[in-house]
Structure 1
Amino acid sequence: MTPVPLESIEFQLALMLLIAVGGYLVAAYIHQSAVVGEIILGLIVGPSFLGLITYTDFVSALAHMGAIIMLFVIGFDFHFKDLLRFPYFIIGACGVILPWILGFLAAELFGYPVEGSFFIGAALTATSIAITANALKEMGKLHTNIANAIIGTAVIDDILALVVLSVTIDIVSGSAETFDIILSIIRPVFFIVIAALTGLYVVDKIIVKLDSSEIAFKFPEFVFLFGLCIAFIYALAADFFGISPMIGAFIAGVSINKVSLRNSLSIKKGSEYLYIPFASIFFISLGVLVDLHEVTKAIVPFIIVLTIIAALSKFIGCSIPAKLLGMDRHDSLVVGAGMIPRGEMAMIIALIGLSMGIMGQDAFISIIMASLICTIMTPLLLKDWLFREKHEYPK
Structure 2
Amino acid sequence: MIDYSKILSQKVVSLAPSGIRKFFDIANEMEDVISLGVGEPDFKTPWVIRQAGIHTLERGRTWYSSNAGLSELRKEISSYLDRRFSLQYDPQEEIFITVGGSEGIDMCIRSMVEPGDEVLVVEPCFVSYAPIVTVSGGTVVPIPTCEKDDFRLTPEALKSHITEKTKLLVLPFPNNPTGGIMHREDLEAIAEVLRDTNIMVLSDEIYAELTYGGKHVSIASIEGMRERTIVINGFSKTYAMTGWRLGYAAGPKEIIKQMLKLHQFAIMCAPTTSQYAAVCATKECDHDIEEMAAEYDTRRRYLVDALRKMGLSCFEPKGAFYAFPNISCTGMTSDEFCNTLLQEEHVAVVPGTAFGASGEGFVRISYCYSVNHLMEAMKRMERFVKRHTKGENK
Q: TM-score, normalised by structure 1?
A: 0.25
Greater per-residue strand proportion: 2
Q: Between Structure 1 and Structure 2, which shows a larger proportion of helix residues?
A: 1
